[in-house]
C-alpha cells in the first residue's frame, strides 16, 4: 500500500508545535533564495522530525511532496505521476503516471519558470526497488534539472544507505548536491519550549525517559507526572511506544535477535567491547561486526576520552545507546516484556520508580554537556573540543579544551539531593592534574553542576577562584 501526500498551505495538522529547528530552516531558506537548480539531501534517523521540518519549510511555497514506499519501481512511478499530475492539474498524467524517471525529470524541468520544490521522502525505498537509481538521478540532474529552477530534496532515514548513495565522495550523487542537511536530535534546551510549565527536574525526567525525538515527546501528557506517562505511553501494550523500538529495529536489521542482545547489554551498563562479549556470549568478531552496523545506523555511539590524539585508533572507546528512549526501553521494558504481557505492568513500573533517580543521574552529564554548548554560543565558555575523560583510575565528567588559548576547563556533575561543597571542587582539581594535555603550558578553569545547589562555603570559594557554578540549568551568581 502506498501513501500519497500533497502538502498545501491550508492543511490542518494535528501535531506538537514546531520548535528548535531554526538552523535547519535557515539553511533550507538560504538555498531556496539562490537562483538555479538546488539539490539538498536531508537525512537523519527515523522519527527525528525530517518530514515535519520539510512541512514547515514548504508551507508557504510551491512544492510537490512524494513519499516513496516499499513497492516496485513501476508502482513508484505510477504513484509519483498521480502526485505530480494532481499538483499541475494534469489528468492524463494523474491517470497514467510516469513511464520512467527521465520523463519525470523532463516534466518538472519544463514547469519551473519560477522556483519549484520537489521532495522525495524516504529515497532509500527507491534504492531498494532499483539498485541503479542513484545513477539514474545523476543522469537526470545533468540532462534535465541542472539548468532549471527545481529545488530537489531527497530525504532518508537509513543513514548508511544515504551515505553510500548520496553523501560519500564516491556516491553517484555526491558531486550534484549543493548542500546537505543532517537532522539531529534536539538539545535539552528545546524541552523548555515543548513543556514550558515543567520545572527542571521534571524536564530531566522527560529527557531521560522519552529522549529528545519529537515523535516520542508528542506522547508525553504535560498534565501527568513521569510515572503516569511511563505507565500510559510506554507500559500499555496497545501504546505506540511499547512496540516502537522493535518495529524500528526490524525495519533496519535482518537478524534483530542478536542485535537485541547487544543493545540490552549496553543498556544494562556493559559499555566496553569485552563486557558486551562476556554478557552476550557472542564471538568477538561477531560483536565487532554488529556494533559497527549499529553505529552506522545511528543506534549506538562510541565515546573516546576527549584528549585522545587519534580517536579512530583509540582502544579506550566505550559504547552507549545514542537514543535515550531506546536505552530506557532496553533497560526496563525489553527484560520485562513477559511480565507486561501477563498484566504485571505495575510491577515493572515499581522497578522503574525505585531506580529512576539513578537513571536520571547518568543523563545529567549529557544535559550539562548540552548546557556547555549553549555557553559557547553565548560567550560564557570558549572551547574547540569537549567531552568526557577517563583512565583506569579516574574520570572527569566534562573536559573542554581550547587549543588556541591553551585553556582546559574541567567540570563535575552531581545529581544529588545534597548541596555540592568544597570537597567536590578540591577533588576535581586533583583529578585535573592527571589529564595529559598541554602540560605546564595550559590554564585550568573549573565548573560545577549541581541539581541541588551549593554550600555557602563553595559559593565563596567560587567567587574567589573564578569557578563557574550551575544550579540545575541556571548559572549561579557568585559576584
pLDDT in tens, the chain (479 residues): 334 333 333 333 334 556 668 889 999 999 999 989 999 999 888 888 898 899 999 998 999 999 999 899 999 999 999 999 999 999 999 999 999 999 999 999 998 778 999 999 999 899 989 999 999 999 999 999 999 999 999 998 877 778 888 888 788 888 899 999 988 888 888 898 889 999 999 999 999 999 988 889 999 999 999 999 999 999 999 999 999 999 888 878 877 899 999 999 999 999 999 999 999 999 999 999 999 989 888 889 999 999 998 888 888 999 999 899 999 999 999 999 999 999 999 999 999 999 999 999 999 999 999 999 999 999 999 999 999 999 988 999 999 999 999 999 999 999 999 999 999 999 999 999 999 999 989 999 999 999 999 999 999 999 999 999 999 989 987 65
Q: Within 13 Å and on the Cβ side, how many CA atoms surround 191?
A: 27
Q: 431 to each of 182, 421, 443, how far by Cα in Å?
A: 36, 16, 15
d(CA 467, CA 475): 11
Select from 1.20.1440.230, 3.40.47.10, 1.10.10.10, 3.30.479.30 the CATH code of 189-362.
Answer: 1.10.10.10
* Residue-range domain boundaries for the chain: 22-182, 189-362, 381-475
Fold of the domain spanning 381-475: Trna Endonuclease; Chain: A, domain 1 (3.40.1350)
For residue 377, is it left (φ>0), alpha (ψ between -120 and 50) or beta? alpha
Other Cβ atoms within 10 Å of 331 Cβ, number: 21
With b for 16 or more beta-carbon neighbours within 10 A and e for fewer, the 114-135 pattern comes to ebbbbbbbbbbbbbbbeeebbe
| Residue whose entry in the numeric block shows the C-alpha cell 531506546 | 326
Q: Which three cell numbers stand for residue 259?
A: 542485535
Answer yes or no: CATH 3.30.465.10 is held by domain 22-182. no
Amino acid at each position: 500500500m502506498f501513501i500519497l501526500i500533497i502538502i498545501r498551505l491550508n492543511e490542518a495538522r494535528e501535531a506538537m508545535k514546531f520548535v528548535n529547528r531554526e538552523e535547519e530552516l535557515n539553511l533550507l531558506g538560504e538555498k531556496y533564495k539562490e537562483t538555479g537548480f538546488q539539490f539538498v539531501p536531508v537525512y537523519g534517523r527515523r522519527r527525528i522530525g525530517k518530514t515535519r521540518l520539510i512541512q514547515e519549510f514548504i508551507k508557504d511555497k510551491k512544492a510537490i511532496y512524494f513519499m516513496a514506499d516499499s513497492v516496485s519501481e513501476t508502482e513508484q512511478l505510477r504513484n509519483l505521476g498521480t502526485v505530480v499530475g494532481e499538483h499541475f492539474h494534469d489528468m492524463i498524467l494523474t491517470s497514467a503516471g510516469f513511464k520512467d524517471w527521465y520523463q519525470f525529470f523532463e516534466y518538472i524541468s519544463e514547469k519551473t519558470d519560477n522556483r519549484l520544490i520537489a521532495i522525495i521522502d524516504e529515497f532509500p525505498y527507491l534504492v531498494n526497488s532499483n539498485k541503479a537509481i542513484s545513477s539514474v538521478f545523476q543522469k537526470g540532474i545533468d540532462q534535465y534539472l541542472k539548468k532549471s529552477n527545481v529545488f530537489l530534496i531527497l530525504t532518508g532515514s537509513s543513514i548508511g544507505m544515504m551515505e553510500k548513495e548520496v553523501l560519500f565522495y564516491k556516491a553517484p550523487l555526491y558531486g550534484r548536491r549543493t548542500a546537505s542537511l543532517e537532522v539531529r536530535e534536539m538539545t535539552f534546551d528545546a524541552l523548555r519550549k515543548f513543556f514550558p510549565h515543567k520545572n527542571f527536574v521534571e524536564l530531566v525526567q522527560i529527557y531521560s525517559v522519552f529522549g529528545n525525538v519529537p515523535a516520542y515527546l508528542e506522547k508525553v501528557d504535560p498534565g501527568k507526572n513521569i510515572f503516569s506517562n511511563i505507565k500510559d505511553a510506554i507500559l500499555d501494550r496497545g501504546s505506540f511506544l511499547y512496540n516502537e523500538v522493535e518495529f524500528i529495529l526490524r525495519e533496519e536489521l535482518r537478524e534483530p535477535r542478536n542485535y537485541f542482545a547487544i543493545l540490552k547489554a549496553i543498556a544494562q551498563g556493559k559499555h566496553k567491547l569485552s563486557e558486551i562479549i562476556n554478557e552476550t556470549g557472542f564471538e568477538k568478531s561477531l560483536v565487532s561486526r554488529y556494533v559497527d552496523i549499529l553505529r552506522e545506523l545511528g543506534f549506538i555511539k562510541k565515546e573516546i576520552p576527549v584528549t585522545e590524539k587519534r580517536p579512530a585508533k583509540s582502544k579506550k572507546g566505550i559504547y552507549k545507546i545514542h537514543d535515550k528512549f531506546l536505552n530506557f526501553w532496553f533497560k526496563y521494558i525489553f527484560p520485562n516484556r513477559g511480565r507486561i504481557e501477563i498484566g504485571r505492568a505495575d510491577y515493572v513500573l515499581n522497578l522503574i520508580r525505585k531506580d529512576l533517580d539513578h537513571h536520571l543521574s547518568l543523563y545529567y552529564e549529557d544535559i550539562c554537556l548540552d548546557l556547555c554548548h549553549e555557553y559557547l554560543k553565548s560567550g560564557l565558555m570558549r572551547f574547540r573540543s569537549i567531552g568526557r575523560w577517563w583512565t583506569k583510575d579516574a574520570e572527569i565528567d566534562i573536559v573542554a579544551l581550547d587549543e588556541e588559548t591553551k585553556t582546559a576547563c574541567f567540570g563535575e556533575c552531581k545529581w544529588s539531593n545534597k548541596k555540592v561543597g568544597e570537597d567536590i571542587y578540591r577533588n576535581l582539581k586533583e583529578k585535573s592534574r592527571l589529564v595529559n594535555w598541554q602540560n605546564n603550558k595550559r590554564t585550568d578553569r573549573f565548573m560545577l553542576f549541581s541539581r541541588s545547589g551549593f554550600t555557602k562555603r563553595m559559593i565563596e570559594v567560587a567567587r574567589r577562584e573564578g569557578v563557574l557554578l550551575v544550579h540545575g540549568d541556571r548559572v549561579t551568581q557568585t559576584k
